[in-house]
Structure formats: structure tokens, C-alpha cells
Amino acid sequence: MAQVLLVEDDSALRTSLSRGLSERGHAVTSAGTAMDGLNLIVSCKPDLVVLDIGLPDLDGREMLRMLRAASRVPVIVGTARGGEDEIVTVLDAGADDYVVKPFSVGQLDARIRAVLRRGGEEQPRPEVLVVGGLRIDPAARSATLDGSRLDLNPKEFDMLHHLAVRAGQVVSKRELLTEVWQLPYGGADKTVDVHVSWLRRKLGETAREARYLHTVRGVGVRLAAPDEFGADR
């Protein structure tokens, strides 16, 4: 169920759309003027706004610009004209979609669901992880150490990323096998050892003189920045 704010000055249309959208499971708040609409966006924080472009107190495009300056709420514009120029203008002003009057409640509801689905799929860019001089960018699948790019194979990158997410903690070989290799534990655990030693070489360190990658015998592996890692911690 979505919180929908309907801004429409035609009271008969406002009533019938409110009822229709409520029947389709939305929680509808409505306003008859742009100013009331803007106030409700601030006070009610709707999931989506259905905005009539022809409002008495403020041009709908102007309202759209004011709204966009304050909020990223998805907006579907209702336009009576539906000409190419009008549609381009409202989309450029920040509308997510539009409906041309007269439209059915069914069509509006379908567009509301489509816009909300699209918004929900928008994934935030995964966070760049920093561990001491290591910088791991999951979106670019690249890693640098003290500014120099590390030439990692895909599994080395996945393992480094997994360890960086859990920086400072010991991660078991079992976890690495299941999470990085999607393999059950047993038999293939040498795979982890081999990749740890490859990764260690690429980080320019040795098991004996570990800086970032520490093997905890019988337990697993820990990634930590050199100054965060003490022998008794």
C-alpha cells in the first residue's frame, strides 16, 4: 500500500480518483491547490504524488520545480493537453511519468505501481571500503593499495572485499568457501589457502611479516590496517 497525494482542483475528479485509488489499496490524501499540495508533501511525506498540471493558484510545472527543489518523491503528472511539448516539459521539470486526461483509475493505478517499482529497484551504489591504505570499490570491482591499483583475479577481489566488509574480524575458511566460492566446506579448503597466499603476494607481504592479511591458525583470516592490528588484540 502506498501513501498517495493527489493534487487536483476539479473536485468531482478529485473525489472519484481518491475513491478509485483507495479501492485499489492506496492511502490517499488530496489537495485542491498547489499550495495545499506543497504543504501536504512536507507534513504527510507521501510515497508518490499525482499532480494535475492545470491548477488555479500556481502553474503545475512551477509547482513541480518547487517540489523538486525540496523532495525526491515520485510524481505522476496529469495533463489535459498531452502534446509532445507539454510532456517533454513536465518530464524535464522532474516528473517521473504522466497520464493524459481523460484517464481511467486503472491506468493511473498501473502507472503508480510501475513508478514505485522502478524506485524500489534503484540500488544505492555499493560503498567504497577503506582499510588503512587499501581502498576497495565494489561497483568498479577495483582495489588500490596506497594509490596503486592491485591486479586481482575475480576470486581474489571477492575475497578481499568480503574480508574488508568484516575488517578487524577473523573470518573462517568455511565462511569464505561458502560466501566467496559458494562451496560447501571440506575437501576444497586448500582453495582458500592458495588464494590467501596469492592475495598476500599481491599486497606485497608475507605470512611471516603480515601487514594487512593475518592468518589465525586453525581459525581463519583477518584483514586489518597495520596500525589497527596489535599482537594482543
> What is the per-residue DSSP string for 86-102?
HHHHHHHTT-SEEEESS
> Which residue's CB is nearer to Ca ion, number 9 or number 175?
9
| Closest C-alpha among 178, 148, 166 to residue 223 | 166
> Which residue's CB is nearer to Ca ion, number 102 or number 230?
102
d(CA 91, CA 146): 44
> Which residue's CB is nearer to Ca ion, number 90 or number 224?
90
Amino acid 53 reads I
> Which residue's CB is nearer to Ca ion, number 9 or number 205?
9
Residue number of the CB closest to Ca ion reads 54
Q: How is the beta sheet containing 134-137 ordered, strand by strand?
A: 129-131, 134-137, 142-145, 148-149
Find the radius of gyration of the CA atoms of the chain: 27
232, containing H or E segment:
none
Q: Footprint of Ca ion on this chain (CB under 5 A)?
A: 9, 52, 54
> Which residue's CB is nearer to Ca ion, number 6 or number 136?
6
Q: Tell me the CB-side half-sphere exposure of residue 112, using CA atoms within 13 A.
A: 29
**In the complex, what is the shortest distance from the CB of residue 33 to Ca ion, in angstroms, rounded to a whole number?**
10
**In the complex, what is the shortest distance from the CB of residue 60 to Ca ion, in angstroms, rounded to a whole number?**
8
Question: Chain-centre distance of CA 230, in angstroms?
Answer: 36
Q: Which residues pair with 99 in a beta bridge?
A: 78
**In the complex, what is the shortest distance from the CB of residue 85 to Ca ion, in angstroms, rounded to a whole number?**
18
**In the complex, what is the shortest distance from the CB of residue 31 to Ca ion, in angstroms, rounded to a whole number?**
12
**In the complex, what is the shortest distance from the CB of residue 20 to Ca ion, in angstroms, rounded to a whole number?**
17
